[in-house]
Amino acid sequence: MNLNKITIIILASISSSFVCASQAEDNSAAASSESDSSRLHNSYSMQAYTGVFNTPNAAVVDYGDFAFSYSDNYFDRDGFVEATDLKFGVGVLPNLEVVGRLGTKEWSSNCYSESGCGGFRDLSGSFKYKIPFIPENWFELAVGGQDIGGSAVYSEAYYISASKELDLSQFGSVRSSVGYAKSDNAFDYMNGVFGSVEYQPVDFLQVAAEYDANAVNAGLKLFMPQEWLPQGWQVSAAAQLYSSDKEHNVEDEWFSFNLTIPMGSTPPRKSTKVLMQQASQSTLATVTPKASSATPIKPSIEAKDDEAQVAATAQSYQPIVREPLQHKADSVITKADLNAFANFLADYGFESVSIGFDDFIANRLVIEFENNLYNRNEDDAMQVMAQLVSEHLHTKASINMTNFGLVVKTVTLDFSDNKEIDISGYKRAKDSNLVSNWFVNDNVDWLVKNESSSHFVPRLIVAPALASLVGTEYGAFDYQLVMSLNAQMSLWPGALVDFRYMSDTIASSDDFEDGKYIRNSFGINEGIDRRLFHQAFSLPLNVFTQFSYGRIYGNSDGLLNETRWQSDNALHRVTLLAGDFDEKVSGSQPYTINHQPILMKYRYRYSPLNWDVELTAGQYWAGDKGFTLRSLHWFDNVQVGLKYRRTKFDDREEEDFIAIGFSVPLNFKKSMNPKYGFQVKGIEQWSYYVETLIAEKGKPNYISGNSGQEPSLYHNLDQAYFNRDRY
């Protein structure tokens, strides 16, 4: 297939999504309520698109949904054959579905050395886009493409489909579809005019017939009642029971199973400030985001011995109060209250708790803390802190959250009935850490400083690590599963030691057994593969930089710098990644490979759709040069990613790849309390992507594992400091 054509299709689909995004809120609401407003269910066809059996209709996977499908047939060169066909689709944007597909005649045979591979094993991508500008009471119109990137199987097709649904009241609903497709195969399947009729007399049953430009097919679909399933889920099965083309169907009937689940919320992500205001209001109805009406009271500096009061108040603090508290107008916050609140926060699980007064704004507390407790989304920690401040202090306060000792988020809470503050005879708590004082510019008179320090607390991050190959001639799915044990310890602000140990193989396919080619080329070796010292700095003008020195990938020693700038509204980010590493290759004749990656990244955020678009360009780890375009879509804590990459080595032809994958936190909502002096927790972001080479028809699709590789570290700026690039 012409590569320019593929590029145009990808860019066109992204551009058209930007056009409709101006009405994102309406589209999101329409997508989320589609199943309620329409009685006729949408589901996968037995091909890589939403539809009937072999033909598409104009429906798409709902925005924010993940859809899986298994069917027992696959369209090969000369017809429909018995095979395993797996589809993994996502509604990444309103009106846009993207589907990754794996089709294989036989699951585990090595096509190079064993008989029975069956003739094909193919990995490809598909998309469908529903035109949003047509009034719903007219009809629906969609365009799409199937098998983008496949080189060996002739199931590539491009189509346009129009659908019209009619509500028959007590007799159910019916949808008719008609379209035109273009493909290249031996008997004109999906190469011409096609059409279908779907009739749903009751909620759990559909009867359908279609013409796929070659044959007439008919069958039914069954849907599990919604009351049996979690909210938003759909489970269905389909059976194609008749086809007029016996010659190109090796079986009379074909079957499929479909599962759809929502990945998370689709409305625009709320800012940390809004979330904290709502959290503080959840326990006290009097809280408002307006400025304080209380008269500013400067702290008193009269000498007063309050140690006994501090101790008594500390003993009186109880777990979080969930009932509304009554705040008297004349109630006053004392130094004992602040000390006790700091002790309470430390016991709750927050670290490096500091409380003081802002030097520039009278009567405003500054509460600083480090969160290692809520590791799925650090906004969860900020909301908890807002509740605690509301319930226990109820006064104007600037909340600073730090990561590894550096402030990354600041939000000011204000109440309509702020408590007054009377601090008598306090002394500023000096930080004894000289390094910390040098790195951090304190404009705060601290009353409590660094309670329950996060430094020198050993932490162990436990997570699975997976190496895999999908849809190759060695096997449909080859894998190696090991356990990753990542030990980290913060030393001072921005400084961290970082060791990662990879366990022995827990489970694997036969091609990842010791001594095999796949194992030697793509496997994970047991042992320490990463030992690094990191030092990050928070610089003026929203600039962060981090230097990482040590070993990565098991045998590459050197230095990596990551520097990022972000606009005040977080819509724009620019990152520079540059490194110099020497890889020591052992063997009968050891040698060294020098790696000098240098990459520039630009990320734009379209907030109404929780959508990040990132362009990376430069020289990659292995010396190839090119660019990577990422489309990243957030659904709560789930990130779905689409990638298009074009790179070139000096001695090779240019190569193009597409990939689809996801990133999720593998941990509990609330991690182990670190107050015991150590912490064991899960990983905050675990990623898995499946990639395929875009190859011309008839040309080999070789396994390529070293192109487009970025020197990525788990402890990077986006991950470690900026809430997975959500701040």
Q: What is the CATH number of the domain that holds 606?
A: 2.40.160
**74 and 119 inside one domain:** yes
Q: Is there a domain that residue 508 lies in?
A: yes
Is pLDDT above 70 for 294? no
Q: Is there a domain that residue 267 lies in?
A: no
**552 and 507 inside one domain:** yes
**201 and 295 inside one domain:** no
CA distances from 202 to 39, 41, 205, 689 (A): 9, 11, 6, 39
DSSP string, 670-698: S---GGGS-EEEEEEEEEEEEEEE---TT
The owner of tokens 């059409």 is: 195
CB 661 within 8 A of CB 688: yes
**658 and 695 inside one domain:** yes
**481 and 552 inside one domain:** yes
Q: Of the residues 262, 286, 318, which one is the last residue of a structural domain?
A: 262
Q: Is there a domain that residue 692 lies in?
A: yes
The mean pLDDT of 311-321, rounded to a whole number, is 38
The mean pLDDT of 571-595, rounded to a whole number, is 94
Give the whole-angstrom CA distance, residue 471 versus residue 543. Answer: 42
For residue 227, what is the DSSP state? G
**511 and 382 inside one domain:** no
Q: Is there a domain that residue 727 lies in?
A: no
pLDDT band at 309 (very low <50, low <70, confident <90, very high): very low
- Choose among 351, 366, 518: nearest CA to 444: 366
pLDDT band at 241 (very low <50, low <70, confident <90, very high): very high
pLDDT of residue 119: 65
**428 and 474 inside one domain:** no
pLDDT of residue 352: 97
Is pLDDT above 50 for 14? no
CA distances from 105 to 54, 150, 475 (A): 18, 15, 11
Lowest mean pLDDT: which of 207-221, 441-455, 501-515, 565-579?
Answer: 441-455
3-state helix/strand/coil string of 383-450: HHHHHHHHHHCCCCEEEEEEECCEEEEEEEECCCCCCEECCCCCCCCCCCCHHHHHHCCCCEEEEEEE
Give the whole-angstrom CA distance, residue 337 versus residue 581. Answer: 52
Q: What is the CA radius of gyration of the chain?
A: 29
Is pLDDT above 50 for 308? no
**152 and 207 inside one domain:** yes
pLDDT of residue 482: 97
**303 and 348 inside one domain:** yes
pLDDT of residue 493: 97
pLDDT tens digit sequence for 512-521: 998 888 898 8
pLDDT band at 445 (very low <50, low <70, confident <90, very high): confident
The mean pLDDT of 294-302, rounded to a whole number, is 32
pLDDT band at 87 (very low <50, low <70, confident <90, very high): very high
Q: Of the residues 451, 485, 503, which one is the last residue of a structural domain?
A: 451
610, amino acid identity: N
pLDDT of residue 652: 84
Q: Is there a domain that residue 179 lies in?
A: yes
Domain limits for position 540? 459-720
pLDDT band at 422 (very low <50, low <70, confident <90, very high): confident
Size (the chain), residues: 727
**436 and 464 inside one domain:** no
Q: Is there a domain that residue 654 lies in?
A: yes
pLDDT band at 63 (very low <50, low <70, confident <90, very high): very high
For residue 170, what is the DSSP state? G
Q: What percent of the chain has pLDDT over 70?
A: 82
Q: Is there a domain that residue 377 lies in?
A: yes
Give the whole-angstrom CA distance, residue 276 versus residue 272. Answer: 6
The mean pLDDT of 178-193, rounded to a whole number, is 89
Four-CA torsion 347, 348, 350, 351, nearest 10 degrees? 10
CB 362 within 8 A of CB 296: yes
- Choose among 274, 235, 279: nearest CA to 258: 235
**82 and 184 inside one domain:** yes
Give the whole-angstrom CA distance, residue 354 versus residue 449. Answer: 4
Q: Is there a domain that residue 725 lies in?
A: no
pLDDT band at 346 (very low <50, low <70, confident <90, very high): very high
pLDDT band at 653 (very low <50, low <70, confident <90, very high): confident
Contacts of 51 (CB under 8 A, 6+ apart): 44, 45, 57, 59, 161, 177, 196
pLDDT of residue 303: 31
pLDDT of residue 644: 95
Q: Hey, what are 239's tokens?
A: 């059976």
Is pLDDT above 80 for 1? no
**504 and 582 inside one domain:** yes
Give the whole-angstrom CA distance, residue 223 versus residue 228. Answer: 11
E strand segments, 203-279: 205-211, 216-223, 234-243, 254-262
The alpha carbon of residue 667 and the mean position of all alpha carbons in its chain are separated, in whole angstroms, by 14
Name which residue leads in pLDDT, 346 or 589: 346
Name which residue leads in pLDDT, 70 or 156: 70
pLDDT band at 298 (very low <50, low <70, confident <90, very high): very low
CB 700 within 8 A of CB 653: no
For residue 228, what is the DSSP state? G
Q: Of the residues 262, 280, 312, which one is the last residue of a structural domain?
A: 262
Lowest mean pLDDT: which of 311-325, 461-475, 605-619?
Answer: 311-325
pLDDT of residue 699: 62
Give the whole-angstrom CA distance, residue 344 versus residue 392. Answer: 10
CA angle 145, 146, 148 (to 5 degrees): 90
**Domain count for the chain:** 3
Contacts of 370 (CB under 8 A, 6+ apart): 350, 351, 352, 401, 402, 403, 404, 405, 454
* Average pLDDT over the chain, rounded to an integer: 84
Is pLDDT above 60 for 314? no
